[in-house]
């Protein structure tokens, strides 16, 4: 796995050996470590606080001044939230999962086909098509809000998950990102396959995509996270309580239970645990994907 990434990808995030040698000469004193611990605390404590509160009782969460250690660990907030029919949190989780999965699969299929053609084939209009795709990267997304809302209405997609799955797949990032990766794959492999009589589809699915696995994982997980976390669009295109995704649902939960913080934090816990697990598992792909997007942009 590591072999594939470091060979085929032109820019890697890892520091060069020379750099390491230089920095290891520095002595990291106690001040450095105190700073790092404080920094880590700033980033971890709010997240721990969210999980801790979701297991508190209502009165415990409203104590002034507050106490760090809960009186008791209770599942009240989760029991309440799972039995609530006005705010079906489990259904929201399922909707989020369906929308994000379908969206990332659509992005992978559509972007890898277009990116392969743009990276490898000579055809009339290629330059124009690529320029238009790159151009859309610079257009702010909010200008599509009104026209796409009207389009969702015309297509009958308002208040459906399709509105979250399909339009976002027109984003240019996937095509741009995969094209860059494909350009780094040596042509010789495809040429020898051509001589053996393989057609374009076989070359793409049997040779290119397996080599591009790390890039596909990166794009897949970034698309999944982006869709799972999307807030503004679902808040406006979804209305029925049973059609919401977790982010849109959290907003209505906050509206309904104002200061019942254990219940709201329980909702936030349900929305955050799946993405944190995904992040811990695929952390390297996510961070490298973000890092390379910055270097090439």
Partner 1 sequence: MSTTTAPAKTSPAVRGATSGRHGKLRLHHTATPYLLCAPYLLLLATFVLGPALFGVWVSLHDWDFMLPQKPFIGLDNYKNLLDSSSVIYEPFWKGMRATAIFVVASVPFLISIPLLIAILLNRHFPGRTFFRAMIFAPFVLGIAVIGVLFNYLLDAQFGLINWLLGFVGVGPIGWAQTQPWAWIALVGMTVWWTLGFNTVIYLAGLGNIPAEQYEAAELDGAGAWGKFRFITIPGLRTVLVFVITTTILASANMFGQSYLVTKGGPGDSTRTAIMVMTEEGLRQFKMGTASAMSYVLALFLAVISIINFIVMRERKS
The footprint of partner 1 on residues 170-209 (CB under 8 A) is 170, 172, 175, 186-189, 191, 194-195, 199-200, 204
CB 199 within 8 A of CB 111: no
Stretch that binds partner 1, among 70-78, 83-91, 270-278 (CB under 8 A): 270-278
User: Cα separations (Å) of 123 from 22, 47, 75, 127?
Assistant: 48, 51, 61, 9
Residue 116 Cβ, how far from partner 1 at the closest point, in Å? 6
What's the CA angle centered on 135, arms 139 and 144, to 5 degrees?
30
Residue 78 Cβ, how far from partner 1 at the closest point, in Å? 16
User: Cα separations (Å) of 81 from 54, 220, 231, 249, 264?
Assistant: 11, 31, 21, 12, 9
CA pair distance 278, 181, nearest whole angstrom: 23
CA pair distance 180, 118, nearest whole angstrom: 10
| Sole binder of partner 1 in the list 31, 38, 69, 121 (CB under 8 A) | 121
Using the structure block, give the residue that is written with the tokens 């059609």. 243
Nearer to partner 1 by Cβ, of 73 and 277: the residue is 277
Binders of partner 1 among residues 57 to 116 (CB under 8 A) are 61-66, 109-111, 113-114, 116
Binders of partner 1 among residues 135 to 174 (CB under 8 A) are 136, 138-151, 153, 166-167, 169-170, 172
CB 194 within 8 A of CB 206: no
Q: What's 207's DSSP letter? A: I
Stretch that binds partner 1, among 69-77, 83-91, 267-275 (CB under 8 A): 267-275
* Count of CB atoms situated within 10 Å of the CB of 126: 12
Nearer to partner 1 by Cβ, of 21 and 79: the residue is 21
Nearer to partner 1 by Cβ, of 15 and 94: the residue is 15
Q: Does 118 bind partner 1 (CB under 8 A)?
A: yes
Nearer to partner 1 by Cβ, of 98 and 149: the residue is 149
Residue 83 Cβ, how far from partner 1 at the closest point, in Å? 20
Q: Does 267 bind partner 1 (CB under 8 A)?
A: yes
Residue 79 Cβ, how far from partner 1 at the closest point, in Å? 19
Using the structure block, give the residue that is written with the tokens 């009165």. 59
CA 89 to chain centre: 21
| Sole binder of partner 1 in the list 55, 78, 177, 261 (CB under 8 A) | 261
Q: Does 252 bind partner 1 (CB under 8 A)?
A: no
Q: Does 128 bind partner 1 (CB under 8 A)?
A: no
Residue 42 Cβ, how far from partner 1 at the closest point, in Å? 7
Surface-to-core class of residue 3, CB atoms within 10 Å of its CB (0-12 exposed, 13-18 middle, 19+ buried): exposed
Q: Does 295 bind partner 1 (CB under 8 A)?
A: yes
């Amino acid at each position: 796995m590591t072999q594939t990434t470091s060979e085929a990808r032109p820019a890697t995030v890892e520091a060069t050996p020379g750099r390491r040698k230089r920095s290891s000469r520095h002595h990291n004193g106690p001040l450095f470590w105190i700073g790092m611990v404080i920094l880590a605390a700033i980033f971890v404590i709010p997240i721990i606080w969210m999980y801790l509160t979701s297991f508190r009782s209502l009165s415990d969460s409203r104590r002034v001044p507050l106490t760090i250690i809960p009186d008791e660990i209770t599942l009240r907030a989760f029991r309440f939230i799972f039995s609530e029919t006005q705010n079906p949190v489990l259904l929201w989780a399922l909707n989020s999962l369906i929308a994000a999965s379908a969206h990332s699969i659509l992005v992978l299929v559509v972007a890898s086909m277009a990116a392969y053609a743009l990276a490898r084939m000579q055809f009339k209009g290629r330059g124009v098509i690529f320029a238009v795709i790159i151009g859309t990267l610079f257009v702010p997304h909010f200008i599509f809000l009104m026209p796409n809302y009207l389009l969702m209405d015309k297509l009958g997609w308002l208040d459906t998950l399709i509105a979250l799955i399909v339009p976002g797949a027109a984003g240019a990032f996937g095509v741009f990102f995969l094209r860059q990766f494909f350009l780094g794959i040596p042509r010789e492999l495809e040429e020898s396959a051509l001589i053996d009589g393989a057609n374009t589809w076989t070359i793409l699915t049997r040779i290119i995509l397996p080599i591009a696995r790390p890039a596909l994982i990166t794009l897949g997980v970034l698309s999944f996270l982006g869709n799972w976390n999307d807030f503004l669009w679902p808040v406006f295109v979804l209305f029925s309580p049973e059609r919401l995704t977790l982010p849109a649902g959290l907003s209505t939960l906050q509206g309904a239970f104002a200061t019942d913080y254990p219940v709201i934090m329980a909702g936030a816990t349900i929305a955050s645990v799946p993405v944190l697990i995904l992040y811990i598992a695929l952390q390297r792909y996510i961070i490298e994907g973000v890092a390379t997007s910055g270097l090439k942009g």
